């Protein structure tokens, strides 16, 4: 690795093969970052994105990694370190939904959402922090959700996990400030992705009636906010940026 390569910034995006994650990968690549992104199930989507980046000459690494598994997370960040030798931006995007009324919720649905959506980002932060501390510089962006502050029915597990992500963001910002590492979160509302499709189809008129901006967000709009926090907000840390179209409570 020559000096120019060593100094070129590196970003990691979890859940980077689809939806918001894919938009973040594209935006960061366009901004000149070398990329590593994780995926779990949709290998075809991950490889399609890899081929797209390859055709553009973008240096990248696509790796299968379940962020709920500590060993897989450690292996993932070990490969990032071996390939790139540095890490400048971490985007904790990967997450799952297992909605249902808490009174009837299976323990597996409760535990899996907490493990993936809250413990997973904590594990990824653990994996990213050593490189950022060595550099005495870095940026972590956690993807929260409007559900953390304005949850819908059946979102107890998801809302609790995303509320934890917001608390993690504030606590970690304090912890890492002496090493010049900023930590912020973005809390999107309804975004046009595969994960939100069922919710949008079932409740589209009701949701739109509660939005001040009368449409759903596009993944690229969330990616632009990620890029803003990474590149153009050096004085912002410990904050949760709401991107929810002015969603109102019922």
Please report the sign of the dihedral spanned by the C-alpha atoms of residue 196, residue 197, residue 202, residue 205: positive
* Sequence-ordered strand ranges (E) for 40-161: 60-64, 89-92, 138-143
The tokens for 45 are: 């989507």
Tell me phi and psi for residue 245, to 5 degrees.
Answer: 65, 20
Cβ contact 213:247 at 8 Å: no
Q: Please indicate whether residue 33 is annotated as part of the active site.
A: no
Identified catalytic residue from 33, 37, 158, 235: 158
Q: For residues 210 and 90, give the distance between their C-alpha atoms in angstroms, rounded to a whole number.
A: 32
CB atoms within 10 A of CB 232: 8
Angle at alpha carbon of residue 91, lines to 85 and 93, rounded to 5°: 135
For residue 135, what are its two tokens?
Answer: 């550099």
Residues annotated as catalytic are 158
């Amino acid at each position: 690795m020559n000096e120019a390569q060593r100094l070129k910034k590196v970003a990691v995006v979890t859940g980077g093969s689809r939806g918001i994650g894919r938009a973040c990968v594209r935006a960061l690549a366009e901004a000149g970052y070398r990329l590593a992104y994780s995926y779990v199930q949709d290998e075809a989507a991950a490889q399609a994105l890899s081929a797209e980046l390859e055709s553009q000459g973008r240096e990248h690494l696509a790796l299968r990694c379940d962020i709920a598994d500590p060993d897989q997370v450690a292996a993932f960040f070990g490969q990032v370190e071996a390939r790139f030798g540095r890490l400048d931006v971490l985007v904790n995007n990967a997450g799952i939904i297992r909605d249902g009324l808490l009174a009837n919720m299976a323990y597996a649905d409760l535990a899996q959402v907490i493990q993936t959506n809250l413990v997973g980002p904590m594990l990824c932060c653990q994996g990213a922090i050593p490189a950022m501390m060595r550099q005495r510089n870095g940026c972590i962006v956690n993807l929260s959700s409007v559900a953390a502050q304005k949850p819908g029915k059946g979102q107890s597990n998801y809302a609790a996990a995303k509320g934890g992500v917001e608390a993690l963001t504030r606590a970690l910002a304090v912890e890492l400030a002496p090493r010049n590492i900023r930590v912020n979160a973005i809390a999107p509302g309804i975004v046009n992705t595969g994960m939100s499709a069922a919710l949008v189809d079932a409740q589209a008129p009701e949701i739109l009636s509660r939005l001040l901006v009368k449409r759903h967000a596009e993944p690229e709009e969330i990616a632009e906010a990620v890029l803003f926090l990474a590149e153009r907000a050096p004085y912002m840390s410990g904050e949760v940026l709401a991107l929810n179209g002015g969603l109102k409570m019922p």
